[in-house]
Amino acid sequence: MHELGLTQHLIEIAERVARENGATQVRAVKVEIGALAGVVPESVEFCFDVCSRGTLLEGSRLEILFIPGRGRCYDCQAECTLDTYTVTCPECGGFSLERLQGKELRVVEVEVD
Ligand SMILES: [Zn+2]
């Protein structure tokens, strides 16, 4: 389960932000997770509880913003919704899809005391 390492990484980032702001306790963390990031939000939530113990984030609230996947076809320029299973353009059937949005995996906000 690679979400464990990723969640630890997100917690490290949030802790650093909190320390830089002189905080001793994090109240909430907002994280963006894209549909194409290859991460299961529920797993991140689960890992967050475990990984945040003993850190500034212990007991804090995790808010996940889910970013849907968007793509554009190189062949016909049509834009479409993408998920990890989309391999062809729904308009022309082409295989050349550019991923525009949905790879996000980042801390966007840290609320501290
Ligand atoms: Zn197309």
Question: Which domains does the chain carry?
Answer: 3-69+101-112 (3.30.2320.50)
Measure 92 CA to ligand 1 centroid, in angstroms.
Answer: 4
Question: Are the beta carbons of 86 and 98 closer than 8 angstroms?
Answer: no
The predicted model gives 67-75 an average pLDDT of 97
The predicted model gives 30-57 an average pLDDT of 95
Measure 56 CA to ligand 1 centroid, in angstroms.
Answer: 47
Q: What does the pLDDT read at residue 84?
A: 86
Measure 97 CA to ligand 1 centroid, in angstroms.
Answer: 8
Q: What does the pLDDT read at residue 12?
A: 97
Ramachandran sector of residue 105 (left: φ over 0; alpha: ψ -120 to 50; beta: rest):
beta
In the 3-class helix/strand/coil scheme, how is the chain assigned residue by residue? CCHHHHHHHHHHHHHHHHHHCCCCCEEEEEEEEECCCCCCHHHHHHHHHHHCCCCCCCCCEEEEEEECEEEEECCCCCEEEECCCCCCCCCCCCCCEEEEECCCEEEEEEEEC
pLDDT at 1 exceeding the cut of 80: no
The predicted model gives 39-54 an average pLDDT of 95
Measure 86 CA to ligand 1 centroid, in angstroms.
Answer: 12
Cα–Cα–Cα angle for 33, 37, 92, rounded to 5 degrees? 115
Integer Cα distance of 80 and 96 in angstroms: 12
Q: What does the pLDDT read at residue 18?
A: 97
pTM metric for this prediction:
0.86
The predicted model gives 61-83 an average pLDDT of 96
Q: What does the pLDDT read at residue 113?
A: 85
